[in-house]
Amino acid sequence: MSEEEPLFEDVKFHQKRKHGKWSEVEAPVMDVPVADTHAHVQMMRDPALSLARAGAHNVGFVEAIVDPTDDGFTTFSALPGWLMEAAGDLRRLTSEPDQEVHDCVVAVPRVRIAAGVHPHNAKDYTPALEDDLRAHLADRRVSAVGEIGLDYHYDLSPRDVQQEVFRAQIRLAKEAGLPVCLHLREAHDDGFAILSEEGFPEAGTLLHCFNLDGAEVARWVEAGCFIALGGQLTYKKFDALREAARLVPRDRLLTETDAPYMTPEPLRGTLCGPEHVIWTADALCAVLGADTPEGRASLLAQLYENALGLLDRAPTAWQREHAHA
């Protein structure tokens, strides 16, 4: 993530070379739409361009993550503009003669929102902020509460505060009938204990950025959670994660990016966008042995269906009731 990375106005992937040079990398072709279930869209340098690029690579769905303590609720007001601009960008980029866009019809991805206070920012969670968050959850574009959880790696908020705020937001999600998107780092025992005490939300639990092994993944799968895999799946050192992925039932796996972070290989060292999810989806096909065209298409279709089923949901009864309150 360096300042000098150019904002490429095209749909290609670019790899950093020595001496400030960049080269193009051939991208895997997705014949089936792919979902990015975790992207910080408002942190993209050009959110519209990122969404257009995602659309060009057949990313059909993006869950945009909003933390009101970071950026307020900007995404809520900016999203219609981004989508409109993205449609223009997509038309322009894919009509240029040297762009290799595959034959299927490309469109701007469908974007839904997850809103919640990250454990880093738990110290800024106040009753007034909770009221504001609750009001925004009533927006029909919201399909999850998150990312919420515990981060004992950075400990940017005191642990007791993180736990309290995690509990408050689990309750909020249950009140709203929405799933939760979890961020847990070096805190899986406490996270699991808190969810067990509060009760896993009926609408679903998504374990974001899962990067541990088969032994850890088991209890989450047993508890009914969805396991979201990002760029780390493509990293050399993460054999245990690839092993864990094979233990998750296919109807519980999700693909994500955590853009602008966690850029998958072979593009590490560059900024991640929602379009990069295709590299992770491609890696997941290899990890799960989906190597025939049919096997690959059916796995990708399943992954996409998982994402839409969990996150592209109809408004909850609570949302319908509170929509114009």
Contact, 303 vs 34, CB < 8 A?
yes
If the CB atoms of residues 89 and 258 are measured against Zn ion, the closer one turns out to be 258
If the CB atoms of residues 277 and 299 are measured against Zn ion, the closer one turns out to be 277
In the chain, the DSSP E strands lie at: 13-16, 22-25, 34-39, 59-66, 110-115, 142-151, 180-185, 205-207, 226-229, 253-255
Alpha helices in 5-158 (DSSP H): 47-56, 68-71, 74-95, 127-137
Which parts of 167-186 interact with Zn ion (CB under 5 A)? none
- The pair of structure tokens assigned to 74 is 């900007």
If the CB atoms of residues 260 and 296 are measured against Zn ion, the closer one turns out to be 260
* Cα distances (angstroms) measured from residue 34 to each of 26, 57, 121, 280, 289: 17, 9, 30, 10, 18
- The size of the chain, in residues, is 325
Q: Minimum distance from CB of 74 to Zn ion (Å)?
A: 16
Q: Minimum distance from CB of 261 to Zn ion (Å)?
A: 7
**# chain residues binding Zn ion, by CB under 5 A:** 1
Q: Give the C-alpha separation, 176 to 170, whole Å.
A: 10
Q: Minimum distance from CB of 88 to Zn ion (Å)?
A: 28
Nearest to 194 by CA among 226, 159, 227: 159
Nearest to 23 by CA among 267, 246, 224, 284: 267
One residue of 89, 258, 275, 282 binding Zn ion per CB under 5 A: 258
Give the interface segment with Zn ion, choosing from 18-26, 136-144, 172-180, 253-261 (CB under 5 A): 253-261
Give the interface segment with Zn ion, choosing from 47-55, 161-169, 192-200, 255-263 (CB under 5 A): 255-263
85 binds Zn ion (CB under 5 A): no
Give the interface segment with Zn ion, choosing from 10-18, 153-161, 258-266, 299-307 (CB under 5 A): 258-266
- The pair of structure tokens assigned to 243 is 């092993």
Q: Minimum distance from CB of 232 to Zn ion (Å)?
A: 13
Q: Minimum distance from CB of 5 to Zn ion (Å)?
A: 20
If the CB atoms of residues 255 and 319 are measured against Zn ion, the closer one turns out to be 255
Which positions lie near Zn ion, rule CB under 5 A? 258
